[in-house]
A and B are shown apart, each in its own frame.
Chain A
Amino acid sequence: MGSREQKSEVRSQKSNTLSPPFSKRGKEGFIATRDAYGEALLELGEKRADVVVLDADLSGSTKTGKFAKAFPERFYNLGVSEQDLIGTASGLSLAGKLPFASTFAVFETGRAWEQIRQTVCYSKLNVKLVATHSGITVGEDGASHQAVEDVALMRVLPNMTVIVPSDGNETRQVINAIVDYSGPVYVRLGRAKVPAVMPDDYKFKIGKAYTFHMGRDANIVAMGIMVSTSLEAARILKDEGLDIGVINMSTVKPLDTKTLLKVSKACKLIVTAEEHSIIGGLGSAISEFLSENYPTKIRRIGLIDDFGCSGSPEELLKLYGLTPDNIVKTIKEALT
């Protein structure tokens, strides 16, 4: 149950603006990762003539529309056809271009999964798949539009790199970093506005996790919007005398196993937090690694073998337990 202040603050926000209780930075720091992508892409288009952008009739929502407006000759709308989107992007990559292919996460990774497997990953093409509208914070559109399996679908593919930025700053850095890396990359972005969580001097590097603090009692390893939720959970528990660390594992594949081992050795419990199914995503990746290399007590926060549903992002996060309160409860139960 959220506090009274939390609820009133929730009401004060627009439905697509997340308002975690730690939003003391004010609304100014709030930006949707898809908006940061749109801006980063625009800058990239000015810097690099080889960047081409493809979308499947969702350029207004994925924010590739900004690039389309500025560089119409390098933007290709494929219409409502995700499989062709992936294939066309692959061809552009073969012709020496640097394609960014965007649509909603559920359609990009689900509808076109086999195209990504056969054409992009098997041939190790330099195609950047940047999908928006991941997770339940899509909100009112409901389960059909809420990808909670995409990380699992992409993580299983050989040659694929999977990145889930936590805020606008990190998203901008991710987009620039993947340009300098040759190979398939999947970047998972969201619809809702999220607070800035990463420090101003943060430098993103593919495969490198960021440790906010290493806890002696437990460490929460999170991705995407759950990083801010985890930070709040750690703050609440600090008040109760527990030393809880938070790690932003923005690169889900390849996993930063070095950091993972270090924080696991420092504490009694690892909690994973993701706006995704606990099957196949970050929680799975971490469980797989630790069970073989440093068996550690683990609890996974995420969707428990379930679809999302319609509702406001805040209501849904609460319904599925993606809240600071649920993380707090989980940690307390596991530590006793």
Chain B
Amino acid sequence: MKSTVTIRDINFLKEKARVLRMEILKMLTEAGSGHTGGSLSAADIVTVLYFCKMRHKPEEPKWRERDRFILSKGHAAPLLYAALSLSGYFEKPLLKTLRKLGSPLQGHPCSKKLPGVEISTGSLGQGLSVANGIAIGLKLDGLNSRVYCLLGDGEIQEGQVWEAAMTASHYRLDNVCAIIDNNGLQIDGYCSDVMSIEPIVDKWRAFGWHVIDINGHDMKAILDAFDEAETVKGKPTMVVARTVKGKGVSFFEGKVQYHGITPTPEELKKALKELEENGK
């Protein structure tokens, strides 16, 4: 069925993630501004969600029984846009309008402008609360849809995240599965230097969450984590995904300066070549 792709083939997912990364790099270069590193680091997680795990209908974005995805780290908008486009929510040429005047592809996701975006984000720390609210609503309606929420690791420095962490646990929202894209970097440098967030796993466990600690670039591990989350009853799940910022392009990987900088045309050429070779 077109609407709910559930292809559990690791090679298929790897290929999707590779194409996703290429689209991200192309649209960011075209836009000339935007967030490269954090879009690439979460690409494998989002690939598993959009092309395997989530039940959704690109032709019916408001389908009542869909699983929801909240991009709390809204600056990874290019990643969301690429996933939506490759899923069939809109035509690929639209990706070229990212950040341009009149485009539905705003610098940070806007739900009023682009179908498929559940809620406008960009100001960090707010997505998990929204995910909880949706999850409560779904439970009230007796729907078994799940709510996925992707957070940045720097983002969890926001106090509201911990308010929401308590709420999900207090109301036993086992239909919430959050993911931390733990690439270890934020705008001003290493998270450990700017504002230490460790021990992440212990923190979420202490807040009453089921925590799964994985390599965020291992497709099988990501898939297994989401499967496991579905079996957990009475508590929300946090997937701590250990990732590499700029993942997929060797000369971007682990570099803090590529948080909010886009590739130059030359860098794009090199990056695409590298990704193409990886696909062979």
Q: Which A residues are within 8 Å of any B CB, using their own CB? A: 52, 73-74, 76, 78-79, 81, 83-84, 86-97, 99, 114-115, 117-119, 122-124
- A90 and B133 form a contact (CB under 8 A): yes
Q: Which B residues are within 8 Å of any A CB, using their own CB? A: 64, 110-112, 118-123, 125-138, 140-141, 159-160, 163-164, 166-167, 170-171
Residue among B112, B122, B159 making CB contact with A118, cutoff 8 Å:
B122
Tell me how many residue pairs across A and B have CB atoms closer than 8 Å: 110
Query: For A89, what are the chain B residues with a Cβ–Cβ distance below 8 Å?
Result: 133
- B167 and A84 form a contact (CB under 8 A): yes
- A91 and B163 form a contact (CB under 8 A): no
Closest to A81 in B: B163
Told that A91-B133, A123-B110 touch, could you supply 14 new A-B pairs with CB distance under 8 A?
A52-B140, A73-B140, A81-B163, A83-B129, A84-B129, A84-B163, A84-B166, A92-B133, A92-B137, A97-B137, A115-B126, A118-B120, A119-B119, A123-B111
Closest to B138 in A: A95
Closest to A88 in B: B133
- B130 and A91 form a contact (CB under 8 A): yes
Q: In whole angstroms, what is the CA distance A79 to B165 when docked?
A: 12
Interface centre among A83, A88, A92 (most CB of B within 10 A): A88
- Assess A94 versus B171: contact at CB under 8 Å? Given A114-B123, A115-B160, A123-B112: no
Closest 5 CB pairs of A and B: A91-B133, A95-B137, A87-B129, A84-B163, A81-B163
- A96 and B120 form a contact (CB under 8 A): no
- B120 and A78 form a contact (CB under 8 A): no
- A81 and B137 form a contact (CB under 8 A): no
Closest to B124 in A: A118
26 A-B pairs with C-beta separation under 8 A: A52-B140, A81-B160, A83-B126, A83-B160, A84-B132, A87-B127, A87-B133, A88-B133, A88-B136, A91-B129, A91-B130, A91-B131, A91-B133, A91-B135, A92-B136, A94-B133, A95-B140, A99-B133, A118-B120, A118-B121, A118-B123, A119-B126, A119-B129, A122-B120, A123-B110, A123-B111
Q: In whole angstroms, what is the CA distance A319 to B243 when docked?
A: 60
- Assess A97 versus B140: contact at CB under 8 Å? Given A84-B164, A87-B160: yes
Query: For A52, what are the chain B residues with a Cβ–Cβ distance below 8 Å?
Result: 136-137, 140
Q: In whole angstroms, what is the CA distance A93 to B140 when docked?
A: 12
Query: For B135, what are the chain A residues with a Cβ–Cβ distance below 8 Å?
Result: 91
Q: In whole angstroms, what is the CA distance A90 to B160 when docked?
A: 14
Residue among B112, B130, B159, B163 making CB contact with A119, cutoff 8 Å:
B130
Query: For A81, what are the chain B residues with a Cβ–Cβ distance below 8 Å?
Result: 160, 163, 166-167
Interface centre among A79, A94, A97, A124 (most CB of B within 10 A): A94
Q: In whole angstroms, what is the CA distance A119 to B128 when docked?
A: 12
Q: In whole angstroms, what is the CA distance A187 to B132 when docked?
A: 24
Nearest-neighbour CB distance to chain A for B168, whole angstroms, equals 10
- B120 and A123 form a contact (CB under 8 A): yes
Q: In whole angstroms, what is the CA distance A88 to B119 when docked?
A: 12
- B132 and A88 form a contact (CB under 8 A): yes
Q: In whole angstroms, what is the CA distance A117 to B123 when docked?
A: 10
- B134 and A78 form a contact (CB under 8 A): no
- A122 and B110 form a contact (CB under 8 A): yes
Query: For A93, what are the chain B residues with a Cβ–Cβ distance below 8 Å?
Result: 133
- A86 and B111 form a contact (CB under 8 A): no
Query: For A114, what are the chain B residues with a Cβ–Cβ distance below 8 Å?
Result: 123
- Assess A87 versus B112: contact at CB under 8 Å? Given A76-B136, A96-B141: no
- Assess A95 versus B134: contact at CB under 8 Å? Given A74-B140, A78-B167: yes
Q: In whole angstroms, what is the CA distance A11 to B121 when docked?
A: 52
Query: For A99, what are the chain B residues with a Cβ–Cβ distance below 8 Å?
Result: 133
- Assess A91 versus B123: contact at CB under 8 Å? Given A84-B160, A84-B167: no
Residue among A90, A97, A117, A124 making CB contact with B130, cutoff 8 Å:
A90
- B118 and A95 form a contact (CB under 8 A): no
Query: For B170, what are the chain A residues with a Cβ–Cβ distance below 8 Å?
Result: 79
- B136 and A95 form a contact (CB under 8 A): yes
Nearest-neighbour CB distance to chain A for B76, whole angstroms, equals 16
Closest to A94 in B: B134
- A88 and B120 form a contact (CB under 8 A): no
Residue among A79, A94, A115 making CB contact with B118, cutoff 8 Å:
A94
Nearest-neighbour CB distance to chain B for A264, whole angstroms, equals 36
Nearest-neighbour CB distance to chain A for B148, whole angstroms, equals 13
Closest to B74 in A: A118
Closest to B135 in A: A91
Interface centre among B121, B130, B141 (most CB of A within 10 A): B130
Q: In whole angstroms, what is the CA distance A193 to B127 when docked?
A: 39
Query: For A79, what are the chain B residues with a Cβ–Cβ distance below 8 Å?
Result: 163, 166-167, 170
- B141 and A95 form a contact (CB under 8 A): yes
Q: In whole angstroms, what is the CA distance A81 to B111 when docked?
A: 25
Residue among A74, A83, A123 making CB contact with B163, cutoff 8 Å:
A83
Query: For A124, what are the chain B residues with a Cβ–Cβ distance below 8 Å?
Result: 112
